[in-house]
Amino acid sequence: MKSMHLIGSKHMGGAERWFARFLPAMQRHGETVEAVVRRDSDIARQLPAGLPTRLLGFRTVWDPLSRFEVSRLLAASDAPIVQTYMGRATRLTHLPRGGGRVHVSRLGGYYKLDPFVHAHAWVGNTRGLCDWMVRGGLPAAKVFHITNFADPARDVATAELDALRHRIALAHDDLLMVTAGRLLDVKGHRYLIDALARLPVAVGGRRLRLAILGDGDLMTSLADQARQAGVADRVLLAGWQQDPAPWFRLADLVVFPSRDPETLGNVILEAWAYGRPLVCTAFRGAREIARHGDDAWVVPCDDAAALADGIRAVVGDPELQARMTAAGLRRIDEDFGEAAVIGQYRALYADLLDNR
């Protein structure tokens, strides 16, 4: 069945990256989809050429022209399912109830619910988020839990890996830790830099390096922190990476230090998919999916000392690393596969249309 998907963000982040992964996956499974994105946005430049895409202004939720553009597009579309992401696109999208079409709002975080209440159904990517929506007053019968899927790990040519290794001056005996995410306070990067400063320069004869993949308002302050902590020469603020596959292939360890409000954390799934040992904090999403000592080493949030201890424990135990990576790969196969998640969306859309 046909579905239209709207997102009004200007910059890339977790929701935007999911949007850019989800729609091509729907196409791969035979679904007809159309993307509606902001005209001057990062995501407009990153969607694949084969994905039908419309560009709108999405200036503000109060902008009359933006409202008119969305309303005109919805009126002209024959898509029975309209799915929105984040507050801007959702607030600009209004479909009448009982009109034969369904507005699904997908939430990827603990946002204020007022901008979302006019949708007909809601999807949350964790059970905790769904429970929170119901406690906030949304009807339980119309709140659905569908998790994110993990992209299959991409094979990366040796020449591409060597080029990246050369570009970042990564010695073969360096030990590379990788983390990814927007440079926002909720991601906890400052605790990770603090943790690195608490660790020795080398562990087992291997120099510890840290690559932070992401852009955001905290770029300057994180660079200043690394300088003041004396670890600037071992911290690489690499910026946003459209394709993080080479970084995950080079990584010896993935660290995800998010603070408690973090909803899911796709980096957990990426670490598992690439067969990399994972140290993460016990934020909301991790408490739901990660199993300490089995598929991840989980430490308290906002605790640089505990994070340093966790990194030290995993780096120093090759057998633990092997057990966790094997368990992570099993989790991807059993719980976070693309086909299973797309199947859940297809079933949800069919059910909503049957009961509209």
pLDDT in tens, 109-161: 898 999 999 999 999 999 999 999 999 999 999 999 999 998 889 999 999 99
- pLDDT for residue 347 is more than 80: yes
Residue range 299-324: average pLDDT? Answer: 97
Residue range 46-52: average pLDDT? Answer: 94
Residue 276's pLDDT band, with cuts at 50, 70 and 90, is very high
Residue 217's pLDDT band, with cuts at 50, 70 and 90, is very high
Q: Residue 201 contacts by C-beta under 8 Å, 6 or more apart in sequence?
A: 207, 208, 234
Q: 314 to each of 108, 127, 202, 318, 327, how far by Cα in Å?
A: 30, 29, 14, 7, 15
For residue 148, what pLDDT is reported? 93
Please name the helix (run of DSSP H) or strand (run of DSSP E) that holds residue 32, with its range, or none. Answer: strand 32-38
Higher pLDDT pick, 355 / 166:
166
| Furthest C-alpha separation in the chain | 67
The DSSP-derived string for 235-276 is: EEEEE--S--HHHHHH-SEEEE---TT----HHHHHHHHTT-
Residues of the chain within CATH 3.40.50.2000 domain(s) are: 2-149+337-354, 158-335
Pick the CATH number of 158-335 from 3.40.710.10, 3.40.50.2000, 3.90.1150.10, 3.40.50.620: 3.40.50.2000
Residue range 79-90: average pLDDT? Answer: 96
Residue range 218-228: average pLDDT? Answer: 98
Question: 123 with 105: CB under 8 angstroms?
Answer: yes
Pick the CATH number of 2-149+337-354 from 3.40.50.880, 3.40.50.11810, 3.40.50.2000, 3.40.1190.20: 3.40.50.2000
Residue range 223-230: average pLDDT? Answer: 98
Instruction: Tell whether pTM > 0.85.
Output: no
For residue 355, what pLDDT is reported? 87
Residue 81's pLDDT band, with cuts at 50, 70 and 90, is very high
For residue 204, what pLDDT is reported? 84
Q: How far apart are CA 219 and CA 229, in angstroms?
A: 15
Please name the helix (run of DSSP H) or strand (run of DSSP E) that holds residue 226, with its range, or none. Answer: helix 219-228
For residue 92, what pLDDT is reported? 97
Q: What is the pLDDT of residues 86-97, one digit of tens each?
A: 999 999 999 987
Q: How far apart are CA 300 and CA 114, in angstroms?
A: 32
Average pLDDT over the chain reads 95
